[in-house]
Amino acid sequence: DTGVSQNPRHKITKRGQNVTFRCDPISEHNRLYWYRQTLGQGPEFLTYFQNEAQLEKSRLLSDRFSAERPKGSFSTLEIQRTEQGDSAMYLCASSQDRGLAKNIQYFGAGTRLSVL
Amino acid sequence: AQSVSQHNHHVILSEAASLELGCNYSYGGTVNLFWYVQYPGQHLQLLLKYFSGDPLVKGIKGFEAEFIKSKFSFNLRKPSVQWSDTAEYFCAVNPYNAGNMLTFGGGTRLMVKP
C-alpha cells in the first residue's frame, strides 16, 4: 500500500496521559498536514510541514500539542496531558509541491483518540 | 478567516434520482476548490477539484461540480445516484497563495435507498 499510513488506528487513554500518533506520508510527497475531525464536523486544520519545517500552525494547536517531522519523512503528533475534549479523529494528509498532483492532499485513515 | 458552508447536512434519495449538494465559501480572492468523499469505514478520497479554467469540472464516478465565482459556490452534482454513492461528502477550499491548509465544510451525509 503506497497511501498515507497512520498508526495507531485507535487509541484509548485516560485523562492526563500523553499520547503520540505517527503518520507516514506518500513517499515522494514533501508536504504533510495534520487535521482534527470531531463527530458531525468536517476536518479542521492543525499544522503543516514542508519537508522538515513546520510552516503553519492553527490556533487550535494549543501548547499541549506538538508535531514534528525530523527528517522530512514521517511525522509525529503528541498531545500532552490529554483532556476529554481532545477526543477526535486525527487525520494526516500529504501532498507534493510540483507536478500534475500539486496541491492535492491525500488523506490517511486517521487515528481515533478516545480520552476517558 | 475563510469559512465553508454546506447547507444540506443529511440528504436521502432513491436510486436514479439526481443529486445536487450545495457548497458556499467566504473568501474574496482566488481559490482552489475540492470535493472529498468518505465512504463508510474508509478514508477521505478526492472526488474532484477546481484550480482554474473551465468552471465545470468532472470527477470520478460520474460526479461534476460547477464553480460560480459571483455566487462563491461550488455545487456538486450527479444526474443519477446509485446505492454505492451512500457516503459523506465534504467541500473544501484553499485560498490561492494563502498557505496550504484546507478549510472544510461540515459535510453532507448522503443516503441512497435501493
pLDDT tens string B47-70: 999 999 999 999 999 999 999 999
For the record, the C-alpha cell of B33 comes out as 476548490
Taking the C-alpha atoms of residue A63 and residue A79, their distance in angstroms, rounded to an integer, is: 9
Question: In a 3-state reduction of DSSP, which class is residue B12?
Answer: strand
Q: Which residue has the cell 470520478?
A: B60
- How many helices (H) and strands (E) chain B has is answered by 0, 12
For the record, the C-alpha cell of B29 comes out as 480572492
Cβ contacts below 8 Å, chain A against chain B, sum to 58
Question: Shortest CA distance to B32 belongs to which of B48, B46, B49?
Answer: B49
Instruction: Show which of residues 81-100 on chain B sit within 8 Å of chain A, judged by CB atoms.
Output: 90, 92, 94, 99-100
For the record, the C-alpha cell of B61 comes out as 464516478
pLDDT tops 60 at residue A1: no
pLDDT tops 80 at residue B2: no
Q: How far is CA A25 from CA A7, A57, A108, A115, B20, in A?
A: 12, 19, 8, 26, 33
Mean per-residue pLDDT, B26-45? 92
Question: Shortest CA distance to B103 belongs to which of B92, B95, B112?
Answer: B92
Residue to substitute from B94, B102, B103, interface A, most A β-carbons within 10 A: B102
User: Is B104 in contact with A43 (Cβ distance < 8 A)?
Assistant: yes
B39: nearest CA partner in chain A: A109
Q: How far apart are the first and last CA of chain A?
A: 33
In the prediction, which pLDDT does B98 show? 64
Interchain contact A18–B (C-beta under 8 A) = no
Q: How far is CA B70 from CA A4, B23, B26, B75, in A?
A: 36, 13, 11, 13
Q: How confident is the model at residue B1 (pLDDT cuts 50, 70, 90)?
A: low
Q: How confident is the model at residue A71 (pLDDT cuts 50, 70, 90)?
A: confident
User: Is B105 in contact with A43 (Cβ distance < 8 A)?
Assistant: no
Contact A35, A94 (CB under 8 A): no
